[in-house]
Structure 1
Amino acid sequence: MKQILIVAPAWVGDAVMAQPLYARLAARHPGVAIDVLAPAWTRPLHARMPQIRDAIDAPFAHGELALQQRWQLARQLARRGYDQAIVLPNSLKSALVPLFAGIPCRTGWLGEARYGLLNDRRRLDKAALPRMVERFAALAEPKGMPPVHPIPDPRLAVDAAASAAVLATLGLDIDRPILALCPGAEYGPAKRWPARHAAALARGYLARGWQVWLFGSSKDAGICGEIVAAAPGVVDLAGRTSLAQAIDLMALAAAAVCNDSGLMHVAAALGLPLAAVYGSSSPVFTPPLSASARVVSLNVECSPCFERTCPLGHMKCLNDLGPERVQAALDALTGQR
């Protein structure tokens, strides 16, 4: 049985976009065992990818070299007898554990002078592979071969019993349709749709008889509080759920609205009708990968700037993007007027 270790990305969205790689590896190598080495907070994502056998927690802080820790972990992994490692991050540090573990085939894109660490080195043609999902999927193929198209959209598998358990824990119900609203964005305010627009959209859905659930971390408490104050009746779950619980609850939604964020990619991978709001960033490299998703953007002349805060001070890209545009996108997806 072939065994492959994946050094997986640390970001939620990137971790979701690696799932088609795992599906392709399973198709190419029937019976393959795929393990992922990734930060512990991504474990709920990998637990919902049926191709993954085991998730191994990487105990390293962001940017930390931690050579001794990497060596100790590598010696433990060496006992598993992996045939191949596929390194998805482009950093030098991410390629150290497979080298220390003596994994015979170490695959990845060249980056940060990794010539001595990877022995199945690939040179990236960014024009040929413009999207992250394509760059990940290409590493499933032999060197020199392009990824097999069409690349399937990422998918997360949610167990109905797990969703029911979270509902009971939080005292929620699904008697009425649910709009999942994800107003946060870890990168910065230039990616966050204004609270007043989100609240106006929420009020419209509440008037239709829907429920509106806010998803996010404790870092999103500020913007979620603004939305709740302006749209009484909204259920604020930000900071009240783990990532695992958030995924299982989002799977119950009838539609979702998200900024360009990790939860946007989760919503897409759950197949929800999704309006993805873009401001300072671009959907070219990491779009929501789902036939049920629509990008909503004004495409103003100064975007995408990729800045955390608006360098011009007006944030026209999001301030001028009113709730009626998002509503129209959702109505088109859900067949409502």
Structure 2
Amino acid sequence: MAERLVYIFAWLIVCLIRCLPLSVCFLLGQAIGALMWLILPGYRRLARENLTIAFANEMSEADLGRLTFRHFTTLGANVVCAFKMPSLSQAQIQRVAHFENLDVVKRNIALGRPVIMAINHIGNWELYAQIVFQWPEVRSGTIYQALHNKLVDDLVNRDRRRLGLETFDRKKGFQGAIGLLRELGVLGVLVDQHAGKSGVWTPFFHRLCSTSPLVATLALRTNAVVIPSAIYTDGFARWRIVMGQEIPWTADNPEQLTLDLNRNLEEQIRVSPADWFWVHNRWKTPRSFLLNDVKRGIYLPGGAATVNPFRIVARSPNWLGDAVMSVDAVRAFKYGRPDAHLSVLTPSKLAGFWRRVNGVDEVIEIEKEESVFSVARRLRGRFHVAVLFPNSLRSALEVWLARIPVKVGFQGHYRHWLLDHAIAEGKRPPANQPVHQADVYWRIAARCGAEERPPVSPLWKPNRKERVIGLCPGAEYGSAKRWPADQFRQLILQLNEEVDCQWVIVGTCADTPVAKKIASGIPNVTDLTGKTSLEDLMDLLSRISVLVTNDTGTMHLADFIGTPLVSIFGSTEPTFTGPRGSRSLVIRQKVECSPCFLRECPIDFRCMEEIPMDKVIQAVKISLK
């Protein structure tokens, strides 16, 4: 019933329009277009964004704004006039439409080659159905996307078929269209729509987008000539129908034909920019925007330098350990597509780390106490996608206020409404099936199309002339993660009797009292707590022989660098957050209350106190070898 009511309404509108003179239809359409510009801010914004992609380097902001309004009025005029066109006679069509270079079609038909007209949504595209009388002796057809409402679909196509144009629903296959071409017919195929996963990703206005390979496929199957065409609005209720020159193609490189069609379409649009259908999301960003799962791949013969970058900003976790565990996932966004430009938005305390991560093009620092509005202002207008690794509401607000088009992350804390692709965190895994935090972060990259973790080159380059053992006795999270200071001191004293080495203690200023207690009276120990920047710490970790550490950010940093590790765990679970490097050894004493994940131990600290010293010493010796 609803479909019939929609059909009756559409039929009444069409009948009303066809009662009006063409000039009145054109004026009415302009007025409707201006109204749509006013009341449809979403489409107005989409058109402006698309025009910016195409002409940002050629037009000022004011020019782009004026062109956006002119597009709406031109589109309105052409859509209303499109309903009027089927009621005009051939003589009337020839009075309002000027034809150019039609001979290129007739000449190829005479030579025994079928013709594929590469058509598009420039100007009054309904005129394509009205020009079949130019070659009445030849079968003419077009491939179209059927409307969901069958009655309205029949209304739209009825006049086309009455004029002799054959229509082929693409959902029903292409055998009918191929048969028409093999009988030396003329077939119109749209080439300017987003093709989703079935398309070839190739440049259009210097930006990768999914483009239909259908023209290339049909040309190869039927040896057809490919001729681009366009219909320009050429004054008040007047149009110019232009057939371009044949686009050559070769059977061994059909993707080049698809790219050439895009390049030709760019030239056609530049002739009359207001005429194209800018309210179509031609550069749509798919959920799997890393493009590893696209069926027909990426065709970029000139390399990434020939296209504008696809700008991705990854919001870093706020803790050093979490940031290190997110590295694989963050780097996947750089290597997942050839045009990717990767920026990392991070608290300033972690900026030094991210500058050392291979694949990061830019580091944007969030200063301490900087407001969410200030961060948003610095991001606005710069990025196509934001990927959030923290679960916080604030991180989602930063990119939402920045109006970044696509925002991806876990649902997090009451923020799913701020995200475009909110990833469900799922049920907590059973205790006997733990999931490492790095794998949790990887789920974000995988949902965006990442398939393989990027290769990592270890940064560990130790000084082979002397043995230097590092100690990290602190843990910012809380005392429950800290092996007792007297145990660290005992480790030094016992190993000094067996191994010729130097010791260095690292950590923050808060760890200095503990470091002094450990190092007191021992000459071969250097206390560097509070004396190194993050970059200095990374350089140091890349040179030492082994690091003995609690479960802390420095442990993860050393694991990232490739430094041999002896990691002591108590209140936390190494299968969740432990090191994963091949040179890493984990020491723990399993007790009934561990892991508790508490900051402070409420009882007797047995998980750390009961760790056997000989086990730690043996692990250090193994690592030194």
Any idea what SS the aligned residue of 2:566 has?
strand
Alignment of 1:41-80 (within 5 A): 41-61=349-369, 69-80=371-382
Matched residue, 1:11: 319
Alpha-carbon separation, structure 1, partners of 2:609 and 2:421 = 47
Matched residue, 1:137: 442
Any idea what SS the aligned residue of 2:387 has?
strand
Are the counterparts in 2 of residues 106 and 119 from structure 1 also a CA contact under 8 Å?
yes
Letter in 2 for 1:140: A
Are the counterparts in 1 of residues 434 and 576 from structure 2 also a CA contact under 8 Å?
no
Of 92, 96, 111 in structure 1, the residue corresponding to residue 397 of structure 2 is 96
Check 1:135–1:328 CA distance in 2 against 1; reply closer, same or farther (3 A cut). Answer: same
Matched residue, 2:507: 216
Any idea what SS the aligned residue of 1:284 has?
helix
Pick which of 246-255 and 205-214 moved more: 205-214
Matched residue, 1:317: 607
Are the counterparts in 1 of residues 381 and 404 from structure 2 also a CA contact under 8 Å?
no
Pick which of 321-330 and 252-261 moved more: 321-330
Does residue 302 (structure 1) correspond to residue 593 (structure 2)? The answer is yes
Does residue 257 (structure 1) correspond to residue 548 (structure 2)? The answer is yes
Are the counterparts in 2 of residues 198 and 323 from structure 1 also a CA contact under 8 Å?
no
Does residue 115 (structure 1) correspond to residue 416 (structure 2)? The answer is yes
Does residue 183 (structure 1) correspond to residue 473 (structure 2)? The answer is yes
Give deviations 1:60-111, integer Å, cap 9, x for gaps. Answer: 54xxxx7xx322332221232x111001111111101111111111000112
- Quick check: which has more Rg, 1 or 2? 2
Are the counterparts in 2 of residues 49 and 157 from structure 1 also a CA contact under 8 Å?
no
Check 1:156–1:109 CA distance in 2 against 1; reply closer, same or farther (3 A cut). Answer: farther
Are the counterparts in 2 of residues 45 and 156 from structure 1 also a CA contact under 8 Å?
no
Does residue 38 (structure 1) correspond to residue 346 (structure 2)? The answer is yes
Give deviations 1:165-208, integer Å, cap 9, x for gaps. Answer: xxxxxxxx985211111011112221111112111222244341
Alpha-carbon separation, structure 1, partners of 2:434 and 2:314 = 20
Deviation of residue 22 (structure 1)?
2.4
Pick which of 299-308 and 247-256 moved more: 299-308
Alpha-carbon separation, structure 2, partners of 1:88 and 1:302 = 30
Are the counterparts in 2 of residues 19 and 154 from structure 1 also a CA contact under 8 Å?
no
Alpha-carbon separation, structure 2, partners of 1:133 and 1:43 = 20
Are the counterparts in 2 of residues 16 and 154 from structure 1 also a CA contact under 8 Å?
no
Are the counterparts in 1 of residues 319 and 553 from structure 2 also a CA contact under 8 Å?
yes
Alignment of 1:23-34 (within 5 A): 23-34=331-342
Query: What is the TM-score with the length of structure 1 in the denominator?
Result: 0.85
Are the counterparts in 1 of residues 406 and 421 from structure 2 also a CA contact under 8 Å?
yes
Alpha-carbon separation, structure 1, partners of 2:393 and 2:375 = 17
Check 1:58–1:100 CA distance in 2 against 1; reply closer, same or farther (3 A cut). Answer: same
Query: What is the TM-score with the length of structure 2 in the denominator?
Result: 0.47
Alpha-carbon separation, structure 2, partners of 1:42 and 1:156 = 20
Between structures 1 and 2, the one with greater helix share: 2
Alpha-carbon separation, structure 2, partners of 1:94 and 1:237 = 33
Structure 1 unmatched ranges of 5 or more: 164-172
Are the counterparts in 2 of residues 7 and 86 from structure 1 also a CA contact under 8 Å?
yes
Matched pairs, number: 312
Alpha-carbon separation, structure 2, partners of 1:230 and 1:280 = 31
Deviation of residue 236 (structure 1)?
0.6
Are the counterparts in 2 of residues 271 and 290 from structure 1 also a CA contact under 8 Å?
yes
Letter in 1 for 2:345: L
Deviation of residue 152 (structure 1)?
6.5
Deviation of residue 322 (structure 1)?
3.1
Alpha-carbon separation, structure 2, partners of 1:257 and 1:152 = 28
Alpha-carbon separation, structure 1, partners of 2:343 and 2:381 = 14
Structure 2 unmatched ranges of 5 or more: 1-308
Matched residue, 1:193: 483
Pick which of 127-136 and 94-103 moved more: 127-136
Deviation of residue 155 (structure 1)?
6.7
Any idea what SS the aligned residue of 1:140 has?
helix
Are the counterparts in 2 of residues 153 and 269 from structure 1 also a CA contact under 8 Å?
no
Check 1:198–1:16 CA distance in 2 against 1; reply closer, same or farther (3 A cut). Answer: same
Alpha-carbon separation, structure 2, partners of 1:72 and 1:320 = 49
Letter in 2 for 1:71: F
Letter in 2 for 1:27: Y
Any idea what SS the aligned residue of 1:23 has?
helix
Check 1:187–1:291 CA distance in 2 against 1; reply closer, same or farther (3 A cut). Answer: same
Give deviations 1:214-268, integer Å, cap 9, x for gaps. Answer: 0001100121111111644211111111121111111101111110000010111
Any idea what SS the aligned residue of 1:121 has?
strand
Alpha-carbon separation, structure 2, partners of 1:177 and 1:200 = 19
Matched residue, 1:167: none
Give deviations 1:125-162, integer Å, cap 9, x for gaps. Answer: 2438822111212212336x7x746x57977758x8xx
Are the counterparts in 2 of residues 155 and 269 from structure 1 also a CA contact under 8 Å?
no
Matched residue, 1:272: 563
Any idea what SS the aligned residue of 1:187 has?
coil
Check 1:15–1:231 CA distance in 2 against 1; reply closer, same or farther (3 A cut). Answer: same
Matched residue, 1:166: none
Check 1:156–1:77 CA distance in 2 against 1; reply closer, same or farther (3 A cut). Answer: farther
Alpha-carbon separation, structure 2, partners of 1:89 and 1:39 = 12
Give deviations 1:40-73, integer Å, cap 9, x for gaps. Answer: 0001110110111111111354xxxx7xx32233
Any idea what SS the aligned residue of 2:417 has?
coil
Any idea what SS the aligned residue of 2:547 has?
strand
Matched residue, 1:170: none
Any idea what SS the aligned residue of 1:212 has?
strand
Any idea what SS the aligned residue of 1:57 has?
strand
Pick which of 94-103 and 204-213 moved more: 204-213
